[in-house]
Structure 1
Amino acid sequence: MDLSFGCFKINVSYDADTFGPASYIGGSIFTMLNCFSKARKAIRGILTAGAVLSLAACDVTTLPSGGSDGGSGPNLKSGETVQIALLIPQSDPNTGNIPQSLENAARLAIAEIPGANIELKVYDTAGRAGTAAAQAQRAVDEGAKLILGPLFGEAANAAAVAVADEGVNVLSFSNNTTIAGGNLFVLGSTFDSAAERLVSYGARNGKKNIAVLYQNNIAGQLGRNAIQGAATRNGGQVVAAEGYDLNTESLTAAIGRVKSATSGGNADSLYLTDSWDGGLSVVLQLAPEQGVSPASTQYAGITRWDVRSDGFKLPGIEGAWFAIPDNASTAAFEQRYAARYGAQPHALAGLAFDGVAAVGALLKKGRNDALTRSALTQGAGFQGASGVFRLLNNGTNQRAMGVATVRNQQVVILDPAPRSFGGAGF
């Protein structure tokens, strides 16, 4: 959907890997700066809507109860056909082709698992939490042994609560780790995976003193916390953390405070939590202009920076580090999807593929406990649409990611995504 604010227009789409709506902001960076103050309230409105309409759904909800069995999951009989319920917002007009793309990807995964005996039944959540809860219960009553979806965080939480007492696990498409736990897993790529990959890479390359510049919203705070945790685990430290609102006055002041840490020698790297839908473009322009030089301070970002080639001209992105999925695996999945359905998959489609692929891999091994927590959280993980991943016992996930940079306006892989767990990069 297009939202215009006089000076510039934002087109909101959906991208899990950017932790919110991926947006195109037309006009020059200077036009944006002039308009920032005027558009402040309007932008806040977009971000609030984006929190509801994106995988990053920053609706802080209570953790679902695991029920009497802690969401351990049902055991299967030998040769039993496993019914998986796919909960997607088919009738929500704001989701475009996302629901169909998710369903297509799930069916592609089934087709690639010969003899897995998986039956997929689709249920419409309409994008609403109450409907998601009712549909989850209906699915279980009709024989579902696992819930795949829903798309939005609040709906996923409601669905998990509804079926927790029956021991059915929910593999949601959210990347909001605040809802994970009990019988609810999040499949979306998390800040924790990106932060861990980048901070560990930085530590191995002598960058251990970190300054963080984050937006003053829940996504920014979660990103900041992920960086702080990764720094602690990798022998680094966060020496400065400054938040900003989406207006030039607040951002300029925050950059000034960060500059004190970088110019004083306390910080050798600057981590950004923002994404293209927020203020990232402005940050990558303003921070170098205000004296936080990329030549002396290593810039790094925990959102997907490679999806906006029009941003590769910004001074802060040249030589910066950011995490990306396994390009080879992603390309292979997209090719198989296109061959089967005649179109490219939505950026979120791989999550549905991953959920089915995980269950299918366990079923192929003849595991009657394939739907239980212990099986789903096996340390070896699974091969997914964008590389290897594994579900963690706390309901979150860990994904293989590479480290990339931009050189001469081209993405360059500095350290490829690992192909298995236990090696370099994890």
Structure 2
Amino acid sequence: MFNLFRSARKYTLRSVAVISMLALASCDVAINGANSGPTINTNAPVPVALLVPSGSGQAGDDVLARSLENAARLAMSELQGVQIDLRVYSTAGNAQQAASQTTQAINDGARIILGPVYAEAANAAGVAASARNINVLSFSNNTTIAGGNVFVLGPTFQNTANRLMRFAGSQGKTSVVVVHSNDVAGQIGRNAIQAAGQISSASVTGVVPYELSQQDVVAAIPTVTSTVRSVNADTVFLTATTSGALPLFAQLLPEAGVRPGEVQYIGLTRWDIPTQTLDLPGVQGGWFALPDPTLSQRFASRYQAAYGTSPHPIGGLAFDGIAAIGALVANGQSNALTGGALTQSAGFQGVSGVFRLLPDGTNERGLAVATIQNRQVVVIDPAPRSFSGAGF
């Protein structure tokens, strides 16, 4: 198990960088107001710049870049009465090139920037675009770069924590112990769960950190156990990933007496990927959040039919960006790409359900709550289809 955990840890640290969870200072630009952003000619194709991470020398970045462009073009093909002039720019996954490519895209006429992926690059693109009053819809999920003219389209820990804590409260849960890795991602996750506790009848009553090593995870087990007992917790909320510490916790906590049948386990990350995780005894009956499975599968099928392969896990974010732009432009208003328009409260329909951009640059997405029963994923609370429904 040690070798498995060690290799998983390397993957986790890399994935943290890939999905942009590194802490950064937010763009030093003006707060995004209702009138911030350019005017557009809705009678002509709308120039949109797509910034992708190709050119970095990493094969994974090229795969992701292709998927993002494919998804964007698939979205364009499904727009009704709206034309997009999409131009693609390579950032090589770094901040300096992202900034220069953003400037070039705006010089070429871009009225909005879609991308980049990595937080550092998105931050740099935001700074470059702010000088020209252009908004950036980045594919990052790093909320520390959100704000001003930068929006993050990636799913956020806060959105997931809010959904799960509200659901826990609705199910009569009241006392939650948070178990988090003591790195940047784990600390952001802890903060998100604690903040979610302020809007739920389920409260955080204990917090247990751990370092990312097998030894430290094992050493944390008695502390978690004693904390659960001392605060009479009915719920344990884990930030651990399936490729990191989750398999250890799923085995060792039940063995130590924190049994899933007596204490509700909740995960801040997806527990259904990879599918081998479903075989772990400790995750049976646990709760986690995920996008609407039916809508996600429909997108994957359309993408497969169009391109002969499956989309990248975050490729759909480019579809969402084009869908949002298309919906706004379809209204025929010259201010369609301003901050006020982008943050309209009704939101947009994306590949995996309803989502909206918030004035602080973050986003809110409709998520389903699922559990694992007999090694199968079962949705126990469907994703809301609008922002007026249950789940928000």
State the TM-score bracket (shorter-chain normalisation): over 0.9
Structure 1 residues 273, 69: CA separation in 2 closer, same or farther (over 3 Å shift)? closer
Tell me, in whole angstroms, the C-alpha distance in 2 between the residues paired with 1:125 and 1:156.
Answer: 10
* Counterpart residue type for residue 107 of structure 2: D
Match of 2:139 in 1: 173
Of 214, 227, 234, 1:268 maps to: 234
TM-fit CA distance, 1:35: 6.8
What is the RMSD of the two structures over their aligned residues, measured on CA atoms?
1.7
Match of 1:61 in 2: 24
Q: Which runs of 5+ in 2 are unaligned?
A: none
Per-residue CA deviation, residues 100-120 of structure 1 (Å, 9 max, x unaligned), is 010000011111113212110
Match of 2:15 in 1: 50
Is 1:138 the counterpart of 2:125? The answer is no
TM-fit CA distance, 1:47: 4.4
Is 1:214 the counterpart of 2:177? The answer is no
Of 116, 126, 135, 2:82 maps to: 116
Contact 1:239 1:261 in 2 (8 A): no
Per-residue CA deviation, residues 103-153 of structure 1 (Å, 9 max, x unaligned), is 000011111113212110000001111000100011001100100000111
Tell me, in whole angstroms, the C-alpha distance in 2 between the residues paired with 1:224 and 1:107.
Answer: 37
Percent identity (aligned) = 48
- After TM superposition, the structure 1 = structure 2 runs for residues 125-274 of structure 1, keeping only pairs within 5 Å, are 125-264=91-230, 266-274=232-240
Match of 1:97 in 2: 63
Give the TM-score normalised by the residue count of structure 1.
0.88
Give the TM-score normalised by the residue count of structure 2.
0.95
Match of 2:364 in 1: 398
Tell me, in whole angstroms, the C-alpha distance in 2 between the residues paired with 1:416 and 1:219.
Answer: 27
Match of 2:384 in 1: 418
TM-fit CA distance, 1:45: 5.6
Tell me, in whole angstroms, the C-alpha distance in 2 between the residues paired with 1:248 and 1:166.
Answer: 49
Tell me, in whole angstroms, the C-alpha distance in 2 between the residues paired with 1:362 and 1:416.
Answer: 27
Q: Which runs of 5+ in 1 are unaligned?
A: 1-31
Is 1:301 the counterpart of 2:264? The answer is no
Bigger CA drift: 362-371 or 138-147? 362-371
Contact 1:323 1:404 in 2 (8 A): yes
Secondary structure in 1 matching 2:215: helix
Structure 1 residues 162, 278: CA separation in 2 closer, same or farther (over 3 Å shift)? same
Structure 1 residues 88, 240: CA separation in 2 closer, same or farther (over 3 Å shift)? same
Tell me, in whole angstroms, the C-alpha distance in 2 between the residues paired with 1:35 and 1:116.
Answer: 50
The number of aligned residues is 389
Tell me, in whole angstroms, the C-alpha distance in 2 between the residues paired with 1:160 and 1:317.
Answer: 40
Is 1:291 the counterpart of 2:257? The answer is yes
Per-residue CA deviation, residues 266-312 of structure 1 (Å, 9 max, x unaligned), is 21100011112321111211111122111111000011111222111
Of 41, 44, 51, 1:80 maps to: 44
